[in-house]
Structure 1
Amino acid sequence: MAVTEAERSAMLRAIEIASNGPRGLNPQVGAVILSADGELLAEGWHGGAGTPHAEIEALSALTPEQTHGATAVVTLEPCNHTGRTGPCALALIDAGISRVVFALDDPGAISSGGAARLRAAGVDVASGEQADAARLLMADWLVVQHLGRPHITVKWAQSLDGRAAASDGTSQWITGPAARADVHRRRADADAIIVGTGTVLADDPALTARDGDARYPTQPVPVVIGSRETPSDAALRQHPHAPLFYRTHDLTAVVDNLRERGIQRVFVEGGPTLASAFIAAGLADTVLAYIAPVLLGGDRLALTDVGVGTIVDARRLQVDEWMPLGDDMLAIAHPIVESKGH
């Protein structure tokens, strides 16, 4: 059965209300229940981990008489597993829903299969309605499901000859105001910003995302990696979010824990040692290299050891964009994943 205009409108509404839910460990999902003649009966969205899923939230507003023979329109395939809550596919079947329209397949190995369960119970199922719009809403969450960890951007600023600082360690300001403003915009898009203790002790960064003198409405959670103690009067301790401290060099353990906390996008900004460690570990999905037309010389390199012993092991990048920023240039790139031959 083709999707009706009422169902199409309901899906657009479901996508709209899905954004009421928080970004985090679980996806932002919206649901709308329609009567047999296309009248909107109820709607709901997922309020975060441990709360009722969108379908359950919508069903809870209706009587069994209303849900019997009704249509559920949902942005994500109803789940098919028992976690903190029961399977939504079963709840829809038990409520007497006769038709389910959803936008995206559930990518989870455990939670997927709801559509098959619904069809096996005799429910009419249609998928793919407004898939692009739903995918845009859940883009970051879907990336986390694909990678098994947050998306990681590694950023640094350098002179034209590849230095992060002058020989005496001074580095403010290599790049100009346009480049620095671009960095702050990108910080505001991240869920967490990571630095090493060396950067904290040397520069005392606030790790906020600022638009001029004002803070952006959204702020990344500050994360500090390293064994040295962060001073009690460090600027980042005044951040709107409580800082997270990891006294370990195991970056995989750090990003796994950030995922468990619902972090979807990570911005690594903490100096040559930390940037190099993330790249060496293969934990860089996007590279942002801000290049200033200045020569510094010396040994304060923007990157140190990234695990390349010979040229054949070079970590090759695909440059997606060269962006002029005042007198500076930003290279936006991603690692090229080469298939291994046999």
Structure 2
Amino acid sequence: MRRAIALAARGLGSTSPNPVVGCVILDASGRTAGEGFHRRAGGPHAEVDALAAAGDRARGGTAYVTLEPCNHTGRTGPCSQALIDAGVARVVYAVADPTPQATGGADALRAAGIAVTAGVLADEAAAGNAAWLTSVRLGRPRVTWKYAATLDGRTAAADGTSRWITSAESRADVHRLRAESDAVLVGSGTLRADDPHLAVRGIEGATQPLRVVLDTHARSLGPDARVLDDAAPTLVVVGDGVTAPPPTGSADLVRLPYDDTGIAVDALLAELHARGVRSVLLEGGATLAGSFVAAGAVDRVIGYLAPVLLGAGPAALADAGITTITDALRLDVTETVRIGPDLRITATPKER
């Protein structure tokens, strides 16, 4: 099952709006007969991919799959029936499918006389599929807020200079995060200060994420902005009723409700969800991050901390509507890793 979970991770960033799924098939004697994973929406599901690799060796064998085999016909047929037709004797899966249209695969397998075991390494598999599961349960994409700061929490010096706080190794790791995300999001402050590009670089074969730029009053995005090139798709978001020229190139323009704090977070996430986005990497500055924290819309925090002290300069997080220590957003640290000279900390809100 751990091998199936590792295979599923290969699909991160390219399967939405579908889940990432991995599958390992053992033959009747317990030897690996085939492996597969879901590569992209509309393509073969993991079980079908693994069955194709296994061929006749699947008969009488066992399939290990990270998500309950689906039981419906969409752009592809039901995986439960594919396993039945292949003559598999046993199916072991990690996470039950929570979608009404796809559930029932386990029951179909049992009705066909196949032994079924559920819940093996369920927590590990669910963690790998967190974006899709969040979208199913909450009806919005999973949001990861990424920031880079000094050890004393500064994202730039007092004079505004910020390149480079963290190491080349950390910056390369951020490109990995982008490649695993469906969308990368920044606000107008970052547009003005950094003219970011936001595309994935240095990862061969990566699916480029949707670059989402919030320019509420249509004042920050110039026609020559790097984010408007053809390296990746771009969505420009302006306030509803704001006069804005069409963006250059192939970028899309959408108008959403806004107030004094900017674009409404819930409306933005609903728009992205409708476009098939299941994971968002929030790379904007402190103000945008504060609005997402205030809206309860941050599901994971990844901080890159450099062994540097500044003592002055902007903090990583601006006003998030927290005025007293009892209201602080408490986090569970799930991972700490050295990235070059830096420390990468991953945490999730306890309320989640």
TM-score with structure 1 setting the length: 0.69
Q: CA RMSD in A?
A: 4.5
Show structure 1 runs of 5+ residues with no match: 1-7
Q: Write the mapping of 1:171-190 to structure 2, written as runs, cut at 5 A.
A: 171-173=161-163, 175=165, 177-178=166-167, 181-190=169-178
Q: For 1:327 and 1:153, how far apart are their aligned partners in 2?
A: 23
CA distance in 2, matches of 1:199, 1:174: 15
Residue from 231, 238, 243 that aligns with 1:240:
231
Question: Which has the larger Rg?
Answer: 1
2:340 & 2:9 partners in 1: Cα distance? 38
1:229-274 CA-to-partner distances (Å, cap 9, x unmatched) read: 6222111223621222233413234334444555454321211111
Could you say what secondary structure the match of 1:172 adopts?
A: coil
Q: Residues 156 and 79 from structure 1, CA distance in 2 versus in 1: closer, same or farther, beyond 3 angstroms?
A: closer
| Residue 103, structure 1, aligned to residue 93, structure 2 | yes
SS of equivalent residue, structure 2 residue 109: helix
Contact 1:14–1:43 (8 Å) recurs in 2:
no
Deviates more, 1:79-88 or 1:37-46: 37-46
SS in 2 for 1:274: helix
Match for 2:232: what amino acid? H
% identity of equivalent residues:
35
1:295 matched to 2:283: no
Matched, 1:277 2:282: no
Distance 1:62 1:327 in 2: 44
Q: Secondary structure at the match of 2:129?
A: helix
In structure 2, the residue matched to 1:216 is 203
Report the counterpart of residue 3 of structure 1 in structure 2.
none
Give the 3 Å change call, closer, same or farther, for CA 310–209 of structure 1 in structure 2: same
Looking at structure 1, the residues matched to 191 and 48 of structure 2 have their Cα atoms a distance apart, in angstroms, of 46
Shift of 1:36: 7.9
Q: The residue matched to 1:207 in structure 2 has which SS?
A: coil
Q: Tell me what 2:70 maps to.
A: 79
Please, which of 11, 14, 19 is the counterpart of residue 27 of structure 1? 19
Distance 1:308 1:85, change over 3 A: same
The count of aligned residue pairs is 314
| Residue among 226, 244, 248 paired with 2:215 | 226
Contact 1:32 1:58 in 2 (8 A): yes
Q: Which residue of 2 aligns with 1:316?
A: 330
Counterpart-to-counterpart distance in 2, 1:240 and 1:326: 28
Question: Structure 1 residues 45, 260: closer, same or farther in 2, change over 3 A?
Answer: farther
Query: In structure 1, what residue type is equivalent to 2:41?
Result: A
1:112 partner letter? T
Contact between 2:8 and 2:38, CA under 8 Å: does it hold in 1?
no
What is the alpha-carbon distance in structure 2 between the residues aligned to residue 182 and residue 100 of structure 1?
43
Alpha-carbon distance, 1:45 to partner:
5.8
Q: Give the superposition deviation at 1:196.
A: 0.5
State the TM-score, normalized to the length of structure 2. 0.67
Alpha-carbon shift at residue 145 of structure 1 (Å):
0.8
Question: Structure 2, unaligned stretches of length 5 or more?
Answer: 239-255, 257-262
Amino acid aligned to 2:170: D
Structure 1 residue 142 displacement after superposition = 4.1
Q: Is the partner of 2:351 in helix, strand or coil?
A: coil
Shift of 1:200: 0.9
Equivalence for 2:250:
none
